[in-house]
Structure 1
Amino acid sequence: MFPLEEWFTLYLYQQDFIAKEQLAISPDDRGYYFGDGIYEVFRVYKGELFEADGHYRRLELSSADTRIPLPYSIPELHAKLLELIHLNRLREGTVYMQVTRGIAPRSHPYPAKAEPVLMAYCNELKRPLQTMQKGITAVTSADIRWLRCDLKTLNLLPNVMAKQQALDLGANEVVWHRDRVVTECSASNFMIVRNGEIWTHPANHLILHGITRDVVIRLAQKLHIQVHQAPFKIEEMMSADEAFVTGTTVEVTPVISVDGVYIGQGELGPVTRRLQQAFEEYVGI
Structure 2
Amino acid sequence: MSVYPIILAQTNFTHRDNLKYPYEERGLQFGDGVYEVIRIYNGSYYLLQEHVDRFFRSAEAVKINLLFTKEELRNLLDELLKRNDMKEDGKVYLQATRGSAPRDHVFPINVSANIYAYVQDFPRGIENLENGISAITHPDIRWENCYIKSLNLLPNVLAKQEAKEQNCGEAILHKDGFVTECSSSNVYLVKDGKIYTHPVKQNILHGCVRMRIEQFVKDLNIPFIEEGFNVEDIAMADELFLSSSTSEITPIVNVDKNQIGTGTPGKITRMLQQAYEKDANIKASEKISS
| TM-score > 0.5, shorter chain as reference | yes
Give the equivalent residue in structure 2 for 1:108.
105
Between stretches 40-49 and 186-195, larger displacement belongs to 40-49
Q: Name the structure 2 match of 1:30.
A: 26
The question of 1:58 aligning with 2:43 is answered no
Instruction: Work out whether 1:205 is the aligned partner of 2:202.
Output: yes
Q: Is the 8 A contact 1:136 1:255 kept in 2?
A: yes
The residue type paired with residue 266 of structure 1 is: G
The one-letter amino acid paired with 1:27 is Y
Deviation (angstroms), 1:174: 0.4
Report the CA distance between 1:186 and its aligned residue. Answer: 0.6
Distance between the aligned counterparts of 2:86 and 2:243, measured in 1? Answer: 23
What SS does the corresponding residue of 2:136 show, helix, strand or coil? strand
2:268 partner SS: helix
| Cα shift at 1:25 | 3.5
Residue 267 (str. 1) matches residue 264 (str. 2): yes
Q: Distance in 1 between matches of 2:60 and 2:281?
A: 33
SS at match of 2:156: helix
2:159 partner SS: helix
- Within 1, Cα distance between the matches of 2:218 and 2:235? 24
- Could you tell me which residue of structure 2 aligns to residue 77 of structure 1? 73
Matched to 1:63, the amino acid is A
Deviation, 1:46, is 2.6
Give 1:204 shift: 0.6
The aligned counterpart of 2:5 is none
Task: Give the Cα separation in 2 of the matches to 1:100 and 1:228.
Answer: 36
Taking the aligned partners of 1:183 and 1:55, their CA distance within structure 2 comes to 21
Structure 1 counterpart of 2:61, one-letter code: D
> Does residue 41 in structure 1 map to residue 37 in structure 2?
yes
In 1, are the aligned partners of 2:35 and 2:151 still within 8 Å (CA)? yes
**1:86 aligns to 2:82 (yes or no):** yes
Q: Match for residue 64 of structure 2?
A: 68
Partner amino acid, structure 1, of 2:40: V
Written as runs of structure 1 = structure 2, the 5 A alignment for 1:1-285 is 24-91=20-87, 92-285=89-282
Q: How far apart are the structure 1 equivalents of 2:252 and 2:31?
A: 31
- Structure 1 residue matching 2:216: 3-state secondary structure: helix
What amino acid is the match of 2:32? D
Q: What one-letter code is carried by the residue in structure 2 that aligns with 1:267?
A: T
Contact 2:53 2:70 in 1 (8 A): no
How many Å separate the matches in 2 of 1:266 and 1:210?
26
Measured against aligned partners, the alpha-carbon deviations of 1:46-80 in whole angstroms (never above 9, x if no partner) come to: 32221111112211111111001111111111111
How many residues align structurally?
Answer: 263
Larger Rg: 2
Give the secondary structure class of the aligned counterpart of 2:163: helix
Identity %: 41
Deviating above 6 A after TM superposition, structure 1's stretches of 4 or more consecutive aligned residues are: none
Q: Is the 8 A contact 1:71 1:117 kept in 2?
A: no
Paired residue type of 1:65: A
CA distance in 1, matches of 2:144, 2:38: 24
Q: Is the 8 A contact 2:174 2:180 kept in 1?
A: yes
Counterpart in 1 of 2:287? none
In 2, the alpha carbon distance for the partners of 1:160 and 1:117 equals 23
What's the CA shift for 1:24?
Answer: 4.9
Q: Aligned-pair distance for 1:170?
A: 2.1
> Are the counterparts in 2 of residues 190 and 245 from structure 1 also a CA contact under 8 Å?
yes
Gaps of 5+ in 1: 1-22
Change in 2 beyond 3 A, CA 1:24/1:203? farther
Look up the SS of the partner of 1:280 in the other structure. helix
TM-score, normalised by the number of residues in structure 1:
0.90
Q: What do the CA deviations read for 1:81-120 (whole angstroms, capped 9, x no partner)?
A: 1111111122221011100000111110111121101010
